[in-house]
Structure 1
Amino acid sequence: MRIIRFLNENNLPTLAVLTDADQVYQLRFANFIELVQKADQQNTTPFVLVQSVIQESAPLNADFDDLHLLVPIEAPEVWASGVTYERSKDARNYESTGGKLDVTTFYDKVYDAERPEIFFKSTSARTVGPNDSVYLRSDSHWQIPEPELGVVINKEGKILGYTIGNDMSSRDIEGENPLYLPQAKIWKNSCAIGPAIRLVETVEDPYKFEIVCRIFRNGEKVVEGSASTGQLKRKLDELVSYLVRDNVIFDGTVLLTGTCIIPPNEFTLEDGDRIEIEIPGIGVLNNPVKAQAPVMQNVG
């Protein structure tokens, strides 16, 4: 059972539930957090509340594939975890050493450390949803998507559901100097989430999600990779616990949990590419890639 947002016939954002049979039922809530808060007030769960809506109403006369989908939640903040998979550690080492994988770096240390790497990724203004364009950074020449499982949490750090995230990354900027990480991760339209939120009550084991990433260029598939959340080095609750530690977190915050799918080292995204990230049970997050015009510098 998944929560989605779409534009209705009056061009207004609408919250709905998408069943596993791809039937769409409108929900009378302004957003996902209002649904969660209403369930708390009634001492029940969002899943039970949504089930009652399904039992008491008819599905919309709409094909899910024809809906104009929006981000399932306008997350006030998106955070991300790094080096949570061994493949990610190897990729970061490659970037920072120029391909010398036999050199021990701080990425090796954080992979084995007690404290995970967690960094700020995005705000609602920088985050796009399904079928919206993600942007390339104009001063980077080595950019990739990072397909990730995202957890949606409340301000206490309780996991409410799961979504798909694309943590766009500039490998050359991060590899040049680790202090450049914010610039390698944060820019306009550098984060995408969606297309839905899978309610936590409907997921028996979050470590059995399969993640698939496909990249298309001129209509041809040029990259494809897959991974499982079972390969995560750290548990989801552990990552969340460090995020909320001595921190102020807002209802609807999304934490991306790291990537295990890295395109070949010689690959970089180009204007006009299309990124497709699929997690069965959640959906497919599809985003075209768009180049930004270089920023003119004032050298006067």
Structure 2
Amino acid sequence: MRIIRFEEKQSQNPVLAAVTEENKVYSLPYSSFLEVIEVAKTKDVRPVDLVNEIITQSVPLTESFDELKLLVPVEAPEVWAAGVTYQKSKEARNYEATNGKLDATTFYDKVYDAERPEIFFKSTKERTIGPSGDLFLRSDSNWQIPEPELGLVLGSEGEILGYTIGNDMSCRDIEGENPLYLPQAKLWARSCSIGPAILLAETVEDPYQFEITCKIYRNEELVVEGSASTNQLKRKFDELASFLRKDNIVFPGTVLLTGTCIVPPNEFTLDDGDQIEIEISNIGKLINPVKSQVAQVAK
């Protein structure tokens, strides 16, 4: 069962809805994903059972899922991200930090094997966009890529409420120049997107079997394609969430991105007009165009 938000055509107001495995869409009488969680807790039922009860007494929307103008499925007050959680990510970070010396070892090797994972602040709800929204390129970077990741939607205790898709945009040249530049390499306006849906956690039998694909199009031509699985992840999701909540406040609806295993070729950088498509099995496809802020100003 997936939870989405979309913009109602007539009123342009946000609507919360559930999407079944058959892709039928049912409006829900709640204002947000977190309200679903709270009502289910009050009634002492699982969120999926609450939603199923509503669906059995409702009729699906006449519009299909593909016709809806989707919004971020949850307005995450904060988005955090974990780094170097896959072998591929470790190799890419080493390449950036050593000017292409593939056999060199760095602090990225240390954090990959360390007890403590790398977790960094990525975004706020004001900086985060949803499906079809424009992602911005950073104006002072010449080497930028998307990072397709599975996102954990967390409760106030750091518990995993659901799974979504995240795009952790990254400036490889800025991070490679100096690790202290990580916040600038990761966080700027419209540098993060999440969506298109939240897959309820209790409906997932094995979260380490998600298949992830990423495609990048330029002038409608496929220029980058990669795939991975969460079974390649070095760390467990509960482990990552536990380090985020350690001596910290976790606001309900916080999203924790869990790292990437898909890295474009080292000679590739995003350009104005590119389109990024990230798909994760059973969750959906997150599509975002890319815009250069420099190009927008020039126009």
Question: Shorter-normalised TM-score: what interval?
Answer: over 0.9
Matched with 1:260 is: 261
Residue 18 of structure 2 aligns to a residue whose secondary structure is strand
Q: CA deviation at 1:280?
A: 1.6
Q: CA deviation at 1:283?
A: 0.1
Matched with 1:8 is: 8
Which sections of structure 1, spanning at least 5 residues, go unmatched? none
Residue 125 of structure 1 aligns to a residue whose secondary structure is coil
Tell me if structure 1 keeps the 8 A contact 2:148–2:260.
Answer: yes
Q: CA deviation at 1:294?
A: 8.4
Counterparts of 2:25 and 2:252 in 1: how far apart (Å)? 25
Q: CA deviation at 1:77?
A: 0.2
> Structure 1, residues 71-100: CA drift from partner, whole Å, max 9, x if none?
000000000000000000000000000011
**Structure 2 letter corresponding to 1:238:** E
Alignment of 1:25-44 (within 5 A): 25-44=26-45
Residue 194 of structure 2 aligns to a residue whose secondary structure is strand
Which sections of structure 2, spanning at least 5 residues, go unmatched? none
Matched with 1:162 is: 163
Residue 199 of structure 2 aligns to a residue whose secondary structure is strand
Gap change, CA 1:276 and 1:75, over 3 Å in 2: same
Counterparts of 1:4 and 1:249 in 2: how far apart (Å)? 22
In the superposition, the TM-score normalised over structure 2's length comes to 0.98
Tell me if structure 1 keeps the 8 A contact 2:272–2:295.
Answer: no
Q: CA deviation at 1:295?
A: 12
Counterparts of 1:227 and 1:151 in 2: how far apart (Å)? 17
Counterparts of 2:245 and 2:38 in 1: how far apart (Å)? 20
Residue 290 of structure 1 aligns to a residue whose secondary structure is strand
Alignment of 1:1-300 (within 5 A): 1-9=1-9, 10-293=11-294
Counterparts of 1:8 and 1:110 in 2: how far apart (Å)? 45
Residue 126 of structure 2 aligns to a residue whose secondary structure is helix
- The number of aligned residues is 296
Moved over 3 A (4+): none
Counterparts of 2:167 and 2:12 in 1: how far apart (Å)? 26
Q: CA deviation at 1:293?
A: 2.4
- Identity level (%): 67
Tell me if structure 2 keeps the 8 A contact 1:138–1:295.
Answer: no
Counterparts of 2:192 and 2:98 in 1: how far apart (Å)? 26
In the superposition, the TM-score normalised over structure 1's length comes to 0.97
Residue 180 of structure 1 aligns to a residue whose secondary structure is helix
Q: CA deviation at 1:188?
A: 0.3
Counterparts of 1:26 and 1:159 in 2: how far apart (Å)? 24
